[in-house]
Amino acid sequence: MRTPCPRSTASALGLAITLLATPAARSDAPPAKPAPAGIAGAFARIAPAPVAAPDSAGAFAALPASPAPAVLPRARTPLRADLQGVLDREQQQLATLEVELRATPDAMRSLDVQRRIEKLKQQTEVELLKVQAAHARRAGNAALADRFDEAIARITQPRPRLEPQARPAPAGAGDAR
């Protein structure tokens, strides 16, 4: 079964509200006047009738109530609760840093705040992996916990810098004149 496109649903909803709000759609509207004869009358029949401002309270009252969610939220497990705690702490710290970033007029201080935001996001990722590793160990899945630990190591351990290597001269390079 195909779900309707949100854009088409919104368009249909907007059309329904407009139709409900127009005088022609309401039963209390006066009957339409006959169009005048002649060329002006022909244009009057083609031109759209002016639309009054919709009565938003009445239009929205006619809308059906929103349906219940199709999928119920999953049960809150200890792992999900711990992960959500990490994410909530990150959101609080991130909100503080974003306020500081907006209030900072200096470009260098802005760069410093942006780097702190980047570091916060990296620390949050490491914390999420640590929580998952701990839960995997408690569940007796050491192999999965080791994979989480490897991911943590790849994030936290700096990559070695590659030094230029001395290469032998290509064959025949000394013969060039």
The two structure tokens encoding residue 12: 């249909």
Q: Using the 8-state DSSP alphabet, how is residue 167 labeled?
A: -
Per-residue pLDDT of the chain (177 residues; tens, 9 = 90+): 444 454 444 444 444 444 444 454 445 555 555 555 555 555 555 555 555 555 544 544 554 554 554 454 566 899 999 999 999 999 999 999 999 999 998 999 999 999 999 999 999 999 999 999 999 999 999 999 999 999 999 999 877 778 878 888 888 766 555
- Measure Cα distances from 156 to 89, 123, 132 in Å: 20, 9, 16
Residue 25 is predicted with a pLDDT of: 45
Q: What is the pLDDT of residues 76-117, one digit of tens each?
A: 899 999 999 999 999 999 999 999 999 998 999 999 999 999
Q: Give which of 167, 135, 159 is closest to 149, Cα–Cα.
A: 135
The domain locations on the chain are 78-156
Q: Give which of 131, 151, 122 is closest to 86, Cα–Cα.
A: 131
pTM of the model: 0.50
Helix orientation angle between 107-138 and 78-103, rounded to the nearest 10 degrees? 180
Please report how many Cα atoms fall inside a 13 Å half-sphere around the Cα of residue 57, on the Cβ side: 0
DSSP 10-62: HHHHHHHHHHHHSGGGSTTSPPPPPPPSSHHHHHHHHSPPP-PPP-HHHHHHT
- Measure Cα distances from 112 to 33, 100, 103, 174 in Å: 69, 11, 13, 51
